[in-house]
Chain A
């Protein structure tokens, strides 16, 4: 035996790998995808398919012709970005906008920083917010869904916001809102954000597979619930039921799948809590007082920007206490 391998310890490795984690995220998104297919039919398949394929294509083109490096599609992160972008789009959006959104998500959101692991902002959200600001009409035109109650054509969040603006008291709005239906996902909204229950199932899968920890989702949703509860208890005539905030819009999708993005969330547990609380607070601020009915994407992007700072100043709990012994 002349060519013995000599390397420093450890000589064992756990079974985690980046592609495995990314594949798990894709698997966890399947229940929500299945639910959108059930609601929106083939449209859901087209939008998701186009988004995934164009994200992969742009990543490959940029790798090949701009960064001139080996193809990085094997890490599966482009598939995750594509799926998440699709989940943030209306089911009937024009294919051209999907392709444009994918270009922005992959090109600007991810590859311009140097690819996987280096981006500051969640790529799928960069794509979505770009489209939302540039094409506000197309991005908020949701197809009416069969079997959904009084609120049609607008998302529950937009409906409530519009009603409150015109001075309708909450007591008159609430009968139009079915919280159980909201939770199951019978509501209008972006492709993948509607099925709160399906997203929750995916989240549990990620927890079991130890891809994510409970911290970020629980702190995001918990903060939203607590903040909204305070407002609701202060004036139930003016502010809506806190459960509505947690079930409506992109709360579940954002808390479970977007805020937990490894690259754009803090490293320490304390840091993750601060980041998640920030997302919850900003989301409710925008939803209640902002110009947009939904604030999840903006909240996540804003908190993404604070991550390097959080990482620098919020250190993990050290063994033996955080203040070193002075000698």
Chain B
């Protein structure tokens, strides 16, 4: 019996049409726009001004406070502006625009392909290097990695869990990394284990990716240092297994209590892409200047996995993969279950851009709502054991004071409820609203 999480979940078709497309280096654009807020927390503070010359890997924004991250230049060239620029939702956000000149790298960065296996740094030094490299959760949540690795006093990490689940349909960026950068990934696991002081690492991969499971197992078996401490755990395919709490539940059979953090059950979860970035940062002094982006869609000519410099306009990726199909209705930043439909496709690729998905017009439109028939499918599908129909209804009626008791703050916004609703009710839309109001109430009470 394959492992999986206990409650809820749905089974969307996985549409991994770009799975066999090897990672391809994408051309450096003529200009890049690098937002200063690419992570959860405070945006970075600009460290450059108009006219400054920068190299690839130079810091252009420094972290503002504890929960924040450094931002690096992804190209070499001249800063043409430090100003508010429209993002994917057409909201103006601070960003650094750089006109590209050549491809000159910061000399501290080791650009060779040789595998650097040994790491003798102290945990503190590793975490400092990760913070300096601006690493954030690359699965899409973009939470600063150094914060997750800084275990608060009184708590102890027991295991590291690497998230290779990629449960979002269509996306294959993590899958390609596991297939093509397996060795680096495993060294990344060792570095993270060292930083956390744990002796056990589990890599969770769903059984729709048997090649990745086999490949990593082979690499682990070939090296005694890996074999004793790193284990690949095949998981039964089920969305949202890549959710942090669901993954811990699936692998360790421990459920993070409401209001607690993964570290409270002794687990730290890192995504595959993040782990690879950690390897690059610690062993190669290489900050995040690029990332793998899956560009896909049923009608796209060449679904691809591209290694893209941060700040490249998303529209240029679509052009490079065969151009926008005629009847495109939505362009989604991320996967189809949790990604954001973009209003502005000229917005730049950021650290959190795991995929660009094009959906045709027909599947972009929602079906019309029908009355709730209390079928309980949303209750059965909720991986957090909530009652989506009730939370949605209370939010709709603006009965915000009743929401906290219904555990609204536990919602992970995975979308299983809306996905499964036979009446096509926009359950999650209203739950998000209610969750925001609940968080406001909780914060107001804590501030007192």
Contact = CB atoms under 8 A, between A and B. Distances in A.
A224 B310 CA distance: 65
Contact of A319 (B370, B373, B384): B384
Contacts of B259: 324-325, 327
A4 interface: yes
A64 interface: no
B375 A320 contact: no
B307 interface: no
Contacts of B328: 1, 4
Interface string B38-61: 000000000000000000000000
Contacts of B363: 11-12
Given A14-B12, A262-B374, A318 B428 contact: no
A118 B256 CA distance: 36
B25 interface: no
A18 B423 contact: yes
Nearest to B259: A325
Contacts of B321: none
Contacts of B232: none
Contacts of A213: 380
A321 B418 contact: no
A12 B423 contact: no
Nearest to B385: A318
B364 interface: yes
Contacts of B338: 9-10
Contacts of A319: 6-7, 245, 249, 255-256, 258, 383-385, 410
A10 B428 contact: yes
A263 B341 CA distance: 34
A5 B361 CA distance: 8
Interface in A1-33: 1, 4-14, 16-18, 20-21
A21 B375 contact: yes
Interface in A155-177: none
A5 B331 CA distance: 8
Contact of A320 (B256, B343, B382): B256
B7 A5 contact: no
A318 B410 CA distance: 10
A132 interface: no
A116 B387 contact: no
Interface string A27-44: 000000000000000000
A33 to B, nearest CB: 23
Contacts of A5: 329-330, 341, 361, 364-365
A262 to B, nearest CB: 4
Given A14-B12, A117-B373, A319-B383, A4 B342 contact: yes
Given A12-B12, A262-B376, A4 B337 contact: no
Contacts of B266: none
B364 A21 contact: no
Contact of B374 (A75, A115, A263): A263
Interface string A256-283: 0000001111111100100000000000
B377 A6 contact: no
A21 B384 contact: no
Contact of A17 (B361, B367, B371, B389): B367
Contacts of B382: 316
A134 interface: no
A11 B332 contact: yes
Contact of B386 (A115, A269, A318): A318
A117 B372 contact: yes
Contacts of B339: 9, 11
Nearest to B13: A12
Q: B342, B377, B426 — which one has the most chain A CB atoms within 10 A of its CB? A: B377
A318 B371 contact: no
A11 B329 CA distance: 11
A264 B373 CA distance: 9
Nearest to B429: A8
A300 to B, nearest CB: 15
B377 to A, nearest CB: 7
Contact of B343 (A6, A11, A20, A263): A6
A267 B371 contact: no
A10 B424 CA distance: 12
Contacts of A9: 332, 334, 336-341, 413, 415, 428
B1 to A, nearest CB: 19
A324 B257 contact: yes
B421 interface: yes
Nearest to A324: B258
Nearest to B417: A10
Contact of B257 (A7, A12, A325): A325
B422 A320 contact: no
Interface string B156-171: 0000000000000100
A115 to B, nearest CB: 7
B172 interface: no
B431 to A, nearest CB: 10
Contacts of A13: 366-367, 418-419, 421, 424
A262 B359 CA distance: 33
A265 B380 CA distance: 14
A320 B260 contact: yes
Interface in B339-395: 339-343, 345, 357, 359, 361, 363-367, 370-377, 379-380, 382-387, 389-390
- Of all A-B residue pairs in the complex, the 10 with the closest CB atoms, nearest first, are A10-B415, A117-B371, A16-B422, A318-B385, A320-B257, A262-B375, A320-B255, A324-B258, A319-B384, A11-B336
Given A17-B422, A267-B376, A316-B382, 7 more contacts: A4-B343, A11-B337, A11-B341, A14-B419, A319-B7, A320-B260, A321-B258
Interface of A: 1, 4-14, 16-18, 20-21, 75, 115-118, 213, 262-269, 272, 311, 315-321, 324-325, 327
15 contacts: A8-B340, A8-B429, A9-B332, A11-B364, A12-B12, A13-B421, A262-B375, A267-B374, A269-B380, A318-B410, A319-B256, A319-B383, A319-B385, A321-B258, A324-B407
